[in-house]
Amino acid sequence: MRNGKETLNYILKRLVLMIFTFLVIFVISFILIRLLPLDAATGVGKDPDTFYNMQVALGRMVKANDGTYHKTPVFEQLGAFIKQLFAPNTYKTTDGVVHTTSRWGYSWNISWLSAPDKLLVKQLPPTIIINIYSIIVSVPIGLALGTFMALEKNKWPDNVLSVLIMVLISVPSFVYAFLLQYFFAYVLKILPPLRADFDGNWFSLDMFKSMILPVVSMSFGSIAGYARYTRAELTEVLTSDFMLLARTKGLSRAQATIRHAFRNSLVPIFPMILGEILSILSGSIIIENIFAVNGVGGLFLQSIQMKDYDVFQFVSMFYIAIGLVGGLVVDVSYGLVDPRIRMGGGKA
Amino acid sequence: MESKKLYDVESKIPQEEFKLMHEEASIHDTKFETRAVGWFEDSVKRFARNKASVVGAIIIAIFVLMAIIVPIFSPYNHVKKSDFVNGYQDKTYSGVLPKLFNNAGGFWDGTQVVSVGETEYKLRLFSDANDPYLINPEKFVRKEQKVTETSTIVTYKGRVDTYAVGVRELNLTDSTEYQRILDYEAAKGISYATNPGKSILKPLRDIEAYLDYDGPFEKWAEANGLVVNDDWSRVDNMKDAIRNFYNQRQYVYYKVIPSMRDGKYVDTKFEAYIEEGKTEPEAIYMKDSSGNLVFEETNNGLESIRIDYRAYYRFRYGFDPVFVFGANLQGQDIFLRLSLGAQFSLMLGIAISAVNFIIGLVYGAVSGYYGGKIDLIMERITDIISNVPTIIIMTIAQIQLTGNLQLKNALGPAGTIILALLLAFVFNGWVGVAGTTRMQFYRFKGQEYVLASRTLGANDRRLIFKHILPNAAGTLVTSSVLMIPGVIFSESSLSYLGIINFETSGICSVGALLAEGQQAGIATYPHVLLFPAIAISLLMISFNLFGNGLRDAFNTTLRGSEE
């Protein structure tokens, strides 16, 4: 990283590329989703007439002269969608009141005529809270374990922990989710098996207790990942020349490790943590499913199971955007925390 | 010191005898005496030295063997198609526990400790089935739990045999079957007359005789004050309830009377009627005019018998119902399903990895070898593709394909799902291999030996296939082996979540088994989930160990470093 201008240029370049990538993915998935067969929603309180009227208002269907509805071609739908984003259409309900349509379409099956963005915002809190707890738990433990292992390298504690970490990384997180749920919730009965119902306070004791199991099962993998990474980085740093210099100028082993080695080993780990912090928005679908967390992952799953394509599209795009931004942030932060890495440098 | 010429030292040898040793022989390089170790042999050697990887390889081998052998030898996989149209399943044994041993005191023998309600406990005390449901009923611990001020619930806690499904009534569809059962019993020496504790057939019950007008039950009711002012309506209602009760509990072969609660008879709960001075209730077996027990009866063209279900099962299918990993809620053998699931998952993993490997290799090789603008454009494409989550592609592919009737008719439901899976996993699965290949090509294409070869006039094809690819082979093989557990993991997560829907296709994968276990409920049937979960964990661990071992083995720079 030479100077601020270069950095800014690089970030801008990456940003433009990211937006381009996002748009291409968006168009592809838009087309694929709109090609799926569309059936009128059925169920209590849902009527096909409103469904079709809304589809016409959203520019997805046209009413033929004989009263039947037909899908408009996919590319026209894409045009209509983009127009809709900036200037939403209006429609009249039977009582003559004029409404504006939602920019992102509607949920038809999960929650009749709710806007997908509002649904998503409503489901965000549990996902975010659980992920933040998980980060608070896993980062310090992971770093501490990794440091311990690096200092005890190739002695028995390191060997035992290495095996344990290998197992933790290999075993799918839902397996320990099941085991934890079975033992702590059903055999010992000391923790609730599912997330408590929302009673107006996300930080009540009941809510906290019910979030322990999902948080722990999410943290295992992260802890193992951080520990392994920290161990690898730290063992490399500990053998480097500047550590020898630090020791020869009179620092104790602890001083040298904390002030010099640990800080340096954090350089590649910090972007990792940053990426994880960003992914708190997306959450883990499978853990949310096991513990009935009812967060973003649950919404995504519901939208697939109930074939609620507008919600599916919105949440998918949300996931893709988070993935792209996460990648960008990690890449940029690498350069920011480690000046030796020249971002966007040539291949030589 | 005085200097001497060399031959002066040997001056004792006469001049004419002095001869140079190798005067005739030409000196040149000789072959190594030791055996040459090739690249592959060296890799195998280094792999074998890594104990953890060898263990991983062995576990994988066991899974592969299980996937091949169990479906061949499992009796559940060879039941008659006429008995089970969709493969073996017997809901009678729904959710029974894993059983490997007989009467092992609770370890892996299909028994479990449960709390049985008082009514159930007292009814189960007497049975004419071959195996007792309650194991050592006298050892059951009585427990009283106060629900409200006045009422308490009594439960008995002890060990029960989940396989003891007891006696059932059966309507025969095949008119020769009754005779065949008799012949079978005679051949085995287990007919009811000689060996009632082993027989298949049990005497039919004569419920109507017991509940008859002026029959034993009415007499009992009258004697116990249930008929007030000649009003029989309560007794009639009770009789209907008893009829119902006998139909639901086909193992109850004895006289029952209403239970007492707080000094009053409860009209809907029944218990065994033990006459004074006796220890056992009196059976209500059907008898013909000459007083013999009746085992078979034809009513309105329906031929019905009463059988001990486990003995009948042995007669009908030729093997014992023993489920090593237990049975799921549909009564299917989890061991067999797990083997079939491992078979499918492994095959899927290998097939998808192979396809991804080939696509990624070609793509990465072109991108890495030519570099420059081509590389830039190809990188953008992989960037876009790799950022689309598999879950989205899977959903769209599955809905699109399964909605296509033409395709469904051509491939069948299983084929359609597999095609959707292939599409979804290949869509961005090859990106990883392409990236690795590209990196390897960048690494090797600038090296001196490639330059030398190019200077000697080698064309692109020769450079790629003869010089660069062999060097990259180790890394590429490792990354494609490590892709197999990745595919298995994604598949199982997605089918666990129900995004991959195998229901109509008859395929079972490890993920589908996990979903089944979750539906069964881990609180009541933990074993349905436990075994698939253990299997997938073992597969993941062993594949990772194996892959790490491969990576070290193929890394030629490590050669000789550990010796």
The per-residue pLDDT for range A17-51, each reduced to its tens digit, is 899 989 998 998 888 888 877 776 666 667 777 77
Contacts 24+ apart (CB under 8 A), B327-330: B327/B93, B327/B94, B327/B95, B327/B96, B328/B94, B328/B95, B328/B513, B328/B516, B328/B517, B328/B520, B328/B525, B328/B528, B329/B94, B329/B95, B329/B516, B329/B519, B329/B520, B329/B525, B329/B528, B330/B89, B330/B91, B330/B94
A61 and A132 together in one domain: no
Q: Tell me the nearest-neighbour CA distance from A55 into chain B, angstroms.
A: 21
Nearest to A175 among B391, B497, B533 (CB): B533
Give a yes or no: residue A35 inside a domain: no
A57 and A179 together in one domain: no
How many Å apart are CA B525 and CA B516, to the nearest integer? 11
Nearest to residue B74, comparing CAs of B342, B412, B347, B348?
Answer: B342
pLDDT range class, residue B563, cuts 50, 70, 90: very low
A332 and A281 together in one domain: yes
Q: Tell me the nearest-neighbour CA distance from B533 into chain A, angstroms.
A: 6
Is the pLDDT reported for residue A348 higher than 50? no
- As a whole number, mean pLDDT of residues A137-165 equals 90
- Chain A residues whose beta carbon lies within 8 Å of the beta carbon of residue B374: none
Interchain contact, B399 vs A307, CB within 8 Å: yes
- As a whole number, mean pLDDT of residues B374-398 equals 86
Range of the domain at A86: 47-101
Q: Tell me the nearest-neighbour CA distance from B89 into chain A, angstroms.
A: 26
Question: SS3 string of B335-367?
Answer: HHHHHHHHHHHHHHHHHHHHHHHHHHHHHHHHH
Give a yes or no: residue A342 inside a domain: no
Q: Which residue bears the tokens 């239970």? A: B259
Question: Which residues of chain A from 120 to 159 reach within 8 Å of chain B, CB to CB?
Answer: none
Is the pLDDT reported for residue A112 higher than 90? no
Q: How does pLDDT run across B509-558, given as a tens digit for each residue?
A: 888 898 888 888 888 888 899 999 999 999 999 998 898 888 888 876 66
- Chain B residues whose beta carbon lies within 8 Å of the beta carbon of residue A290: 518
- Chain B residues whose beta carbon lies within 8 Å of the beta carbon of residue A305: 498
Give a yes or no: residue A18 inside a domain: no
Say which residues have a Cβ less than 8 Å from residue A334's Cβ, sequence separation at least 6.
A268, A271, A341, A343
CATH number where A224 lies? 1.10.3720.10
User: Chain B residue with minimal CA distance to A309?
Assistant: B396
Size of interface A-B (CB pairs under 8 A): 95
Give a yes or no: residue A79 inside a domain: yes
When the pLDDT of each residue in chain A is averaged and rounded to a whole number, the result is: 83
Lowest mean pLDDT among B142-146, B244-248, B557-561: B557-561
Is the pLDDT reported for residue B8 higher than 60? no
- As a whole number, mean pLDDT of residues A267-273 equals 83
Interchain contact, B514 vs A307, CB within 8 Å: no
pLDDT of residue A2: 53
Distances (CA, A) of B460 to B376, B451, B466: 20, 12, 10
Nearest to A323 among B387, B485, B545 (CB): B387
ipTM of the complex: 0.84
Question: Which residues of chain B from 348 to 387 reach within 8 Å of chain A, CB to CB?
Answer: 371, 380, 383-384, 387
Nearest to residue B402, comparing CAs of B412, B391, B387?
Answer: B412
Q: Tell me the nearest-neighbour CA distance from B122 into chain A, angstroms.
A: 27
Distances (CA, A) of B233 to B228, B230, B267, B269, B285: 10, 9, 12, 17, 27
- As a whole number, mean pLDDT of residues A285-297 equals 87
The answer, for A24 touching chain B at a CB cutoff of 8 Å, is yes
Question: Which residues of chain B from 171 to 210 reach within 8 Å of chain A, CB to CB?
Answer: none
| Residue that terminates a domain, selected from A59, A77, A101 | A101
Q: Amino acid identity, residue B188? A: K
**C-beta of residue A297 within 8 angstroms of C-beta of residue A283:** yes
Mutation pick from A14, A18, A168, A171 vs chain B, by most beta carbons of B within 10 Å, is A171
Question: Which residues of chain B from 377 to 436 reach within 8 Å of chain A, CB to CB?
Answer: 380, 383-384, 387-389, 391-392, 395-396, 399-400, 403
Paired strand residues for B201: B307
Give a yes or no: residue A191 inside a domain: yes
How many Å apart are CA A291 and CA A184, to the nearest integer? 13
How many Å apart are CA B496 and CA B513, to the nearest integer? 8
The proportion of chain B whose per-residue pLDDT surpasses 90, expressed as a percent, equals 13
Lowest mean pLDDT among B21-25, B494-498, B538-542: B21-25
Q: Tell me the nearest-neighbour CA distance from B509 into chain A, angstroms.
A: 16
Is the pLDDT reported for residue B69 higher than 70? yes
- Chain B residues whose beta carbon lies within 8 Å of the beta carbon of residue A189: none
The answer, for A172 touching chain B at a CB cutoff of 8 Å, is yes
Interchain contact, B388 vs A166, CB within 8 Å: no
Lowest mean pLDDT among A192-201, A268-277, B489-498: A192-201
Is the pLDDT reported for residue B560 higher than 70? no
The proportion of chain A whose per-residue pLDDT surpasses 70, expressed as a percent, equals 93
Lowest mean pLDDT among A284-288, B50-54, B82-86, B414-418: B82-86
How many Å apart are CA B321 and CA B91, to the nearest integer? 12
- Chain B residues whose beta carbon lies within 8 Å of the beta carbon of residue A307: 399
pLDDT of residue A341: 63
A90 and A131 together in one domain: no
Give a yes or no: residue A2 inside a domain: no
Interchain contact, B387 vs A25, CB within 8 Å: yes
Interchain contact, B403 vs A37, CB within 8 Å: yes
- As a whole number, mean pLDDT of residues B345-352 equals 92
B285's tokens? 């077996």
Nearest to B537 among A32, A35, A172 (CB): A172
A224 and A324 together in one domain: yes
- As a whole number, mean pLDDT of residues A165-169 equals 89
pLDDT of residue A226: 92
The CA-CA-CA angle for residues A80, A84, A85, to 5°, reads: 125
A216 and A272 together in one domain: yes
The answer, for B221 touching chain A at a CB cutoff of 8 Å, is no
Give a yes or no: residue A38 inside a domain: no
How many Å apart are CA B174 and CA B296, to the nearest integer? 13
Say which residues have a Cβ less than 8 Å from residue A251's Cβ, sequence separation at least 6.
A259, A260
pLDDT of residue B57: 93
Q: How many residues does chain B have?
A: 563
Q: Which residue bears the tokens 């009992």? A: B220
pLDDT of residue B356: 93
Is the pLDDT reported for residue B98 higher than 70? yes
When the pLDDT of each residue in chain B is averaged and rounded to a whole number, the result is: 84
DSSP B189-235: T--TTT-TTT-SEEPPB-HHHHHSTTSHHHHHHHHTT--BTTB-HHH
Distance, first Cα to last Cα, chain A: 16
A97 and A122 together in one domain: no
- As a whole number, mean pLDDT of residues B357-383 equals 89
What is the pTM assigned to this prediction?
0.83
pLDDT of residue B1: 47
- Chain B residues whose beta carbon lies within 8 Å of the beta carbon of residue A32: 396, 400
* DSSP secondary structure code for residue A346 in this structure: -
- Chain A residues whose beta carbon lies within 8 Å of the beta carbon of residue B526: 182, 186
A84 and A223 together in one domain: no
**C-beta of residue B354 within 8 angstroms of C-beta of residue B342:** no
Nearest to B384 among A25, A32, A181 (CB): A25
pLDDT of residue A161: 92
A307 and A222 together in one domain: yes
Q: Tell me the nearest-neighbour CA distance from A174 into chain B, angstroms.
A: 8
Q: How does pLDDT run across B327-344, given as a tens digit for each residue?
A: 888 888 899 999 999 999
pLDDT of residue B394: 87
What's the number of domains chain A is made of? 2
Is the pLDDT reported for residue A142 higher than 90? yes
How many Å apart are CA B157 and CA B121, to the nearest integer? 9
Interchain contact, B540 vs A172, CB within 8 Å: yes
The answer, for A285 touching chain B at a CB cutoff of 8 Å, is yes
Interchain contact, B541 vs A171, CB within 8 Å: yes
Residue B213: count of CB within 10 angstroms of its CB = 7
pLDDT range class, residue A16, cuts 50, 70, 90: very high
A255 and A310 together in one domain: yes
Give a yes or no: residue A287 inside a domain: yes
The residue that leads in pLDDT, A335 or A314, is A314
Nearest to residue A276, comparing CAs of A242, A317, A322, A338?
Answer: A322
A59 and A172 together in one domain: no
Residue A14: count of CB within 10 angstroms of its CB = 18
A324 and A187 together in one domain: yes
The residue that leads in pLDDT, B379 or A197, is B379
Nearest to A24 among B384, B442, B522 (CB): B384
- Chain B residues whose beta carbon lies within 8 Å of the beta carbon of residue A175: 533, 536-537
The CA-CA-CA angle for residues A82, A86, A89, to 5°, reads: 85
**C-beta of residue B495 within 8 angstroms of C-beta of residue B515:** yes
- Chain B residues whose beta carbon lies within 8 Å of the beta carbon of residue A327: 387
